[in-house]
Amino acid sequence: MSEQVAIDALGTRGDGIARQPTTVFVPFALPGERVTIERQGGRGQLLSVDAPSPDRREAPCPHFGRCGGCDLQHLSDDLYATFKRDLVVDALSREGLSPDVAPLVPCDPASRRRAVFTAVRAGPRVLFGFHEALSHRIAPIETCLVVVPEIVARLKRFERLATLLIDRKRELRMTVTRTTTGLDVAIEQTAKLTGDLRQATIAWGAEDGAVARLSVDGETLIENRVPVIDVAGIAVPFPPGAFLQAVGRAEEHMAEIALAHLAPSKSVADLFSGFGAFSLRLAQRHAVHAAEFDAPALAALEKAKRGASGLKPIAIERRDLYRRPLTVKELSKFDGVLFDPPRAGAEAQSRELAASTVKRIAAVSCNPVTLARDAAILVGGGYRLLSVTPIDQFLWSHHVEAVALFER
């Protein structure tokens, strides 16, 4: 049965919230609108927008509403920027923190250099694209407005490759990254690579000179060129399918903010360092201790530092910082710390930092909730939260990055 409701606010995932007669979350609805919905538990399927908000705009992507990658294309630029900043402000407020929060640093369309595609069998068909929102279903795509053109131009080719390699029962996962030397294509959960299938996969990779490397379930089948990521002019050999900041300019903004704050430091620890996106920049002025658990990422950092000139020393340590955070005693060697953890944040490490004598800390986060928790731990240990800068990296989604600066 359909009903009309008034939308009061936006939730943290970008859904409209109607609170009367009972709370319901309505995807693609905006505050101030009256909409007709069909309730499905605590969620409402949007049937029509009866009184639209002046902040509603026409979504530019033909896949909007089905593809789960972008859920905020219908927001005006002003409401979008306010919403993302408020995600950070509200998370901090819930922890009792009210620092200076800068305006959102924007992100351009067609700038995401890394995309993760999924393929599944649907009877005789293979569906290739992105997951629908809150669903295991796949939304096939023919274009994408957020990913770099070099990847978008080859969507049909990637679909052919997925169709070739897909297993009968499992979802295939394909990570495509644009590097400075070409595309890195890393595929997981494929069918067993028989001799014929291996040769067909290699032949696919040989057809396109833009493919630098093709790997399947960790095995490199083709490496026409070593994929390289440029970090402030330093060439980093890119491990197959490795993590990196999705938008290069966003990474530069994060680094600019963090490095300016840590400039007075002599020795800096870069925790959850990955392959050195921040370590290599820091080492242009500071001695650096890079700690990370991912072995291929650290191997890439080691090669990059050996090939670079003019850097201060970089000590590299493989360490699980969730189980073994740097202790107060170990932290005494540093007067600056940068940490950039996964979405779970850095609670254990923050507790050690809160008891330390480190003078300056820069925290980079992809999750406002865990950032706020870790910030409250640091503030409780005697740090002052100077500022927080939200940075847009996942355009038209409800995800937001942030850089927080602390001083003891």
**Residues belonging to the active site:** 366
The Cα–Cα gap between 200 and 164 comes to 8
- Contact (Cβ atoms closer than 8 angstroms) between residue 310 and residue 241: no
Task: Check the annotation: does 292 bind a ligand.
Answer: yes
> H or E segment at 369?
helix 368-380
- Contact (Cβ atoms closer than 8 angstroms) between residue 202 and residue 224: no
| CA nearest neighbour of 178 among 94, 263, 103, 246 | 246
| CA nearest neighbour of 32 among 61, 2, 8 | 8
The one-letter amino acid code at 214 reads L
**Residue 47's Cα: distance from chain center in Å?**
32
Instruction: Retrieve residue 390's tokens.
Output: 């939200």
Task: Check the annotation: does 340 bind a ligand.
Answer: yes
- What is the distance in angstroms between the CA of the first residue and the CA of the last residue of the chain? 58
DSSP 303-357: HHHHH-SSPPPEEEEE--TTTSPPPHHHHTT-SEEEE---TT--HHHHHHHHTS-
The Cα–Cα gap between 298 and 279 comes to 11
Strand partners, 130: 139
Task: Check the annotation: does 73 bind a ligand.
Answer: no
- Contact (Cβ atoms closer than 8 angstroms) between residue 73 and residue 59: yes
Task: Check the annotation: does 320 bind a ligand.
Answer: no
The Cα–Cα gap between 155 and 177 comes to 13
- The helix/strand/coil state of 36 is strand
Binding site residues, as ranges? 245, 272, 292, 340
Q: Residues marked as binding for S-adenosyl-L-methionine?
A: 245, 272, 292, 340
